[in-house]
Structure 1
Amino acid sequence: MTLFQIEVLVAVASKGNFTRAGEEIGLSQSGVSHTIGTLEKELGVSLFVRNRTGVQLTAAGEEIVASARLILQHSSRIKEIAAKSSGLLHTTIRIGSFPSATEHFAHPLIRELGSLYPHLETRLFEGTYPEIKEWIHSGVIDVGFHILPEEGLEGILLRKDPLKAVLSSEHPLANERALTFEQLAAEPFIMPMAGCEVLLHQEFAKRSLTPQIKYEVVDNTTILAMAEAGIGVTVVPELTLPPSLPNVKVIELSPPVYRQIGLVVRSLAACSPSTLAFMREAERLLNTPTSK
């Protein structure tokens, strides 16, 4: 049984006449008759009762046509999915990313898409949040990983990344189960300057607190080394932390605070089909709801 035979079968059942069915699908009356005859022979049952005015389904024919209609619906859905995703098959997607998103999101996504769409080409541009925003507005990249919300950009949320307090294992607060911003504001503070400083200043300001900022540092490795040495305390996103920190304590914040990581573009409505398809695939592959 072929999909073409199923299409002819459904057309005849709908029109009740070989000639009108043939006109609908672009096949001669004899072609329709031959196709139905071949199908009946293959199935070993009569599908129609022929008469002078047309044809009527047999009892078996009615059951078979009901299933045939479902097959055509699924076939149509398959074609629709393929059409929506076809923009990914032969195109180049230019992606902006910041370091922790590159490691945890961009690289796994590019690998997965490479296996699903062998002809898809990707180019990765790594930078800071402001650079990624500028690249989007200037057209250097098609889409970028960024923190949401961001004024002037539209996007989709992929992951909520919790912020964590980090301090020396010898610090007096090291045995606390959770730390408040009030406690952190009372300590010498190492402010990370790779983008999270905006969120941290907002959280301190919400509580009318002024942190004792002693150092402003961009490099995450340096920040952690300073915290390990007891120079100060800091707050960094969980995804920026290495697997092992022997002399450092990582402590929850109370209440929890998250940076919201997403994919952003200038306008979702003005996106190319390939960029929208890429974002849908990224959301499907990477979107893991937080349990907190």
Structure 2
Amino acid sequence: MNMYYAFIKAIETGSFTRAAEELGYTQSAISQMVHSLEKELSTTLIVRSRTGITLTADGEEFFPYITNIYHSHRKLLEKQKEMVGLHSGLIRIGTFSSVSCHWLPALMKEFKEQYPAVQFELHQGEYKDISNWIKEGRVDFGFVNPKAVSNVTTIPLQEDEMLAVLPANHLLAAAEKVTLKELTEEPYILLGERKISEPLTIFKQNNFEPNIQYQVHDDYTIMSMIEQGLGISILPKLVLSRCPYNIVTKEISPAVIRTISLAYKDKRVLPIASKYFIDFILERYKNPL
């Protein structure tokens, strides 16, 4: 853009010498930049005389276009600086309930303290939904279990133990731990889909089949159902950390563990704000698994 600005400044000042003084170049450099612009446009833009410089007929025609290009480029640079400083930007995240309830609020609050103008858009669903949203570009990145998705980049953040959830008056409520076999003897409330369920995977690996009576897509609905004695379930420890229901949680033997990972398709093409937030999250979880 230097040759555009040199040309504009030369016309504004009426002299290559004065343009050079204002821009911090030599008079020869200004002349060379204007010549380069003339060469690019295959015409003569300026007539030089002892009294100064004036625009040619072609120069008069080109001048408003050159001015527009220069100002548009400046606006582009200003916008780039604004985005780097995160004075604006929308961050779209695919997430599931335990992360959106127990991780994201604190992370978003801290991030907005640094970049208050950044906006967030949360899309809540299951692992498969989130993976599809990432691939389609509906969200910039998301949180998933890496075992349940494919064709996206995943970075493991934390392991989350899953616990048996029982009614408060259940016969197993006094036990230190419960076994998978014991859990197959009760009406089971399944969280999410049968194809991508961590508990069902563990049941299958140990040759057990739970007695699924209900299939529900919300953790808190399941807790409420268990409180009413409709069955038992296995839920993530993360979502049970601030449980508002009168229920009992127990460790399971063998343990049921899920990995929470951050996932995206191609970080290089993500909006700047989303890149910053991804790096911010990874900094908070400095020791990924």
**TM-score normalised by structure 1 residue count:** 0.62
Q: Letter of the aligned partner of 2:240 in structure 1? A: L
Q: Secondary structure at the match of 1:174?
A: helix
User: Is the deviation greater in 268-277 or in 205-214?
Assistant: 268-277
Which residue is equivalent to 1:203?
A: 202
CA gap 1:237/1:191 in 2 versus in 1, 3 angstroms: same
Deviation at 1:255, TM superposition (A): 2.6
Deviation at 1:276, TM superposition (A): 3.7
* 1:224 corresponds to 2:218: no
Give the C-alpha shift of residue 211 in structure 1: 1.2
Match of 1:103 among 87, 101, 104: 101
For residues 160-216 of structure 1, the C-alpha deviation after alignment (integer angstroms, 9 at most, x for no partner) is 221110111221111111112122122222212268962111101110111111222
Whether contact under 8 Å (1:169, 1:248) holds in the other structure is yes
8 Å Cα contact 1:167/1:250 also seen in 2? yes
| Corresponding residue number in structure 2 for 1:123 | 121
Offset at 1:104? 1.4
Match of 2:130 in 1: 132
Equivalents in 2 of 1:218, 1:140: separation in Å?
A: 21
Question: Do the aligned partners of residues 194 and 117 (structure 1) sit closer, same or farther apart at CA in structure 2, a change above 3 Å counting?
Answer: farther
Structure 2 CA distance for partners of 1:244 and 1:198, relative to 1, 3 Å: closer
Percentage of matched positions with identical amino acids: 30
1:148 aligned residue: 146
**Shift of residue 236, structure 1, vs aligned partner:** 0.8
Moved more, 182-191 or 205-214: 182-191
| One-letter amino acid matched to 1:237 | P
Of 108, 111, 119, which residue of structure 2 is paired with 1:113? 111
Equivalence for 1:252:
251
CA distance in 1, matches of 2:253, 2:93: 34
The 8 Å contact of residues 164 and 250 in structure 1, kept in 2 or not, is answered as yes
Counterpart Cα distance in 2 of 1:257 and 1:287: 24
Q: 1:148 to 1:89 in 2, by over 3 A?
A: farther
Contact preservation (8 Å) 1:87, 1:274: no
Letter in 2 for 1:212: N
For 2:229, what is the secondary structure of its paired residue? coil
Query: Is 1:196–1:236's contact at 8 Å kept on the other side of the alignment?
Result: no
1:92 aligns with 2:53: no
CA contact (8 A) 1:105 1:286 kept: no
1:161 maps to amino acid: D
Distance in 1 (CA, whole Å) between partners of 2:231 and 2:275 is: 44
Equivalent residue pairs, number: 207
Compute the displacement of 1:139 (Å). Answer: 0.8
Task: Look up the equivalent residue of 1:252 and give its one-letter code.
Answer: E
Displacement after TM superposition at 1:251 (Å): 0.6
- Would the aligned equivalents of 2:162 and 2:255 in 1 still touch at CA under 8 Å? yes
How far apart, in 1, do the equivalents of 2:101 and 2:195 lie?
Answer: 17
| 1:131 partner SS | helix
Q: Which residue of 2 aligns with 1:158?
A: 157
Structure 1 unaligned spans of 5+ = 1-82
Deviation at 1:286? 4.8
Change (3 A) 1:119 1:128: same
Q: Does 1:180 align with 2:179?
A: yes
Partner Cα distance (2:268, 2:189) in 1: 41
Distance 1:93 1:87 in 2: 15
- Taking the aligned partners of 2:200 and 2:245, their CA distance within structure 1 comes to 29
Report Cα offsets for 1:113-169 as digits up to 9, x if no partner.
Answer: 111223433332233333222211111111112222321221222222211101112
Cα distance between partner residues in 2 of 1:218 and 1:106: 19
